[in-house]
Structure 1
Amino acid sequence: MEYETPLFFHVMQYADRADRDVIDMVSGNPDWEPPQALRDGLREYADLEPDQFQYPPSEGLLELREEIAARRGVDAEQVVITNGAGEANYLAMARALERDRGDEIILTDPVYPYYPGKTTMLGGTQRFVAADDEGRLDPADVREAASEETAAIVVNSPNNPTGAVYPEETIRELVAIAEEYDAILVSDEVYDHFDLSGEFSSALEFDSDHRIVTNAYSKSMAITGVRVGYAIFPPHLVENAKSRHMLVNVATTRPGQYAVLEALRETDPDYYEENRDLLRKRVATFTDALDAAGAEYTTPKGSFYVMARFDGYPGTLENVKRLIDEAGVAGMPGEAFGDSRTEWLRFALVTPRVEEAAERLAAYFD
């Protein structure tokens, strides 16, 4: 079986080779400071005894798992520390398929491209349910798509790429559909700290053996390179997930787990609120420029992405390259996220040059 390299890497490589200055709005790499306690934790770790540089427990440091469990209202034995949310989603989707309850995984359209990629890698079959123009998901459409072949329903709220936030009633219905069809709801909540609407609801709010919640500190602490995430499994699914994690990765970075634990304990909530405020300002700045350019766009209720459509400029890889060469702005082609957004481009608002990027786009499309 051959796997496609995600388009993210093609775009980033092309932008790196450009002969001009390019503003990177491709990937969700936060440009702001991580918590001070995280930096302090890494410095402190450097002076620990040699045994602290050896393998940690495969499922994760107990203290970190206990801290997460206390915050999320679950038992520590349900928590597996992973190499970011990417591995957490891989483990969750694998467990859903391993139950021999069908090989179909329901995904949204538009979709974060790694979900269909993982589905293929795990031998599953993709089935897509369209979101509306604002990225919202109608549970009735999911119920219509579900069948005895449904192994999992994978959702992401706050959403990448649309910025949609699924309210409580949507998540409740998705859990109910998973229960009805003996499927697993995989709820990727990696952007939960970037709910700009106040409407976010976690799948953990609903007691069920049919949901797995995944998350990571990559975005919330601005540490995409540290690779500390987690998955919360129902008790009857967790042991095999731990075994797969051990076989694939052995364990997750010990210094990273230590530093994340310090940051969880010591970081004031103001840290997260300040970053949300920063994003609100960037959204306003960027969408004002899109208005000036006559573009149609989504206004995110969460995460930090804006999708835009410029008349006569479809969201192809070729057009993204043109935008890099001629406007000096690198975004993502909408075609990377599914059939419903092929006319769109996606921009990540994680650069201090958002205003300059907006001006370049407005001038280019004027």
Structure 2
Amino acid sequence: MEYETPLFFHVMEYADRAETDVIDMVSGNPDWEPPEALRTGLHEFADADPGRFQYPPSDGLVELRAEIADRRGVDIDQVVITNGAGEANYLAMARAMERNRGSEILLTEPVYPYYPGKTTMLGGTQRFVPTDETGQLDPADVRAAASDETAAIVVNSPNNPTGAVYPEETVRELVAIADAYDAILISDEVYDHFDLSGQFSSALGVDSDHRIVTNSFSKSLAITGFRVGYAIFPPELVANARSRHMLVNVAGSRPAQYAVLHALRETDPDYYRRNRELLRERVETFTDALDAAGAAYTTPQGAFYVMARFEGYPGTLANIEQLIDEIGVAGMPGDAFGDSRSDWLRFALVTPRVEEAAERLAQYFD
């Protein structure tokens, strides 16, 4: 069996090998500082008793799970700490498949490419539901695509790559569709702190035994390398998720979880607000330059990605490599996210050099 391999690391490695100065706009690695409390937590842990350096509970530090449960309004037993949102989504999709209610997973188009890869790895089949030009998902299209073979519906809001934020009525209807077909709605909410629209609605706001919510602290605390995420399961699905997590990972990182817990308890909400404001400024700077270049583009409602389309320059890997070689700007090919965006390029605005990258693109395509 061959799995779909996302292109992110290929593009990053190509950019690293370039002989010229390259501005990295490939992956969602925040360039800003993590909260001060996170560093404090790491320092505290470094001075802890050696016994604290051993295995944590497999499903995560009790204190961290309790903190998440309290913040999300769920029972602590529903929370499993994972190796980032990547593992959280894997566990959620696995539990959906293991229910033997079908083998098909509904995905949006365009799609974050790790979802199709996980579907194949778990022995499922993919079915794509198109979104509109802004990335919004019409629940009627999801309902039309759903069937008795639907094991799961996977959605991501705020969305990567489109930046769409699904309103409450969409989220409620998606849960209702999962209920109607005895499927599982998997709501990946990793960008929830980067809602620029004020419309974000968590699937946790809808009472149902047919939804799993996944998240992580990689983006919100600017710590993609710490790999601390979580999944919130319905009570009847959590036991096997814990077992799979234990068999694959044994446990997660105790120091990383300790530092995250300290950061959650001690970080003022203003930290998140400042980062959202920084992104608003970068979106405006970048899209102004795209206007100057005569490009079409998406204006994100959330997350930190902009998709752009330049006339006669499709979103292929070869064209991305050409931009790296000729102007030193590294983005992602639109066709990595599905056929519907094959004419587009995707740029991550998590670099202090957004303005410089925008100027290079504007000059190149002028």
Superposition TM-score, scaled by structure 2 size: 1.00
* Identity, % of aligned positions: 82
Matched residue, 2:49: 49
Residues 339-348 or 8-17, more deviating: 8-17
Matched residue, 1:138: 138
Question: Which structure 1 residue ranges, 5 or more long, are not aligned?
Answer: none
Matched residue, 2:159: 159
Match of 2:171, SS? helix
Cα shift at 1:9: 1.2
Matched residue, 2:250: 250
Amino acid at match of 1:113: P
Cα shift at 1:233: 0.1
Matched residue, 2:39: 39
CA distance in 1, matches of 2:112, 2:48: 39
CA distance in 1, matches of 2:105, 2:304: 26
Matched residue, 2:230: 230
Matched residue, 2:128: 128
CA distance in 1, matches of 2:302, 2:232: 22
**Residue 363 in 1 paired to residue 357 in 2?**
no
Deviations 1:281-339 (A, max 9, x none): 00000000000000000000000000000000000000000111111100000000001
Matched residue, 2:347: 347
Deviations 1:162-193 (A, max 9, x none): 00000000000000000000000000000000
Matched residue, 2:239: 239
Matched residue, 1:97: 97
Matched residue, 1:21: 21
Q: Give the aligned length.
A: 366
CA distance in 2, matches of 1:265, 1:335: 41
Counterparts of 1:1-366 in structure 2, within 5 Å, are 1-366=1-366
2:5–2:117 Cα contact (<8 Å) kept: no
Question: Which structure 2 residue ranges, 5 or more long, are not aligned?
Answer: none
2:187–2:214 Cα contact (<8 Å) kept: yes
CA distance in 1, matches of 2:130, 2:338: 9
CA distance in 2, matches of 1:260, 1:10: 30
Match of 1:193, SS? helix
Structure 1 vs Structure 2 CA RMSD:
0.5
Cα shift at 1:4: 3.8
Cα shift at 1:10: 1.1
CA distance in 1, matches of 2:144, 2:294: 37
Match of 2:252, SS? coil
Deviations 1:213-252 (A, max 9, x none): 0000000000000000000000000000000000000111
2:95–2:240 Cα contact (<8 Å) kept: yes
Cα shift at 1:3: 2.5
Superposition TM-score, scaled by structure 1 size: 1.00
Match of 2:112, SS? coil
Runs of 4 or more above 6 Å deviation: none
Amino acid at match of 2:246: M
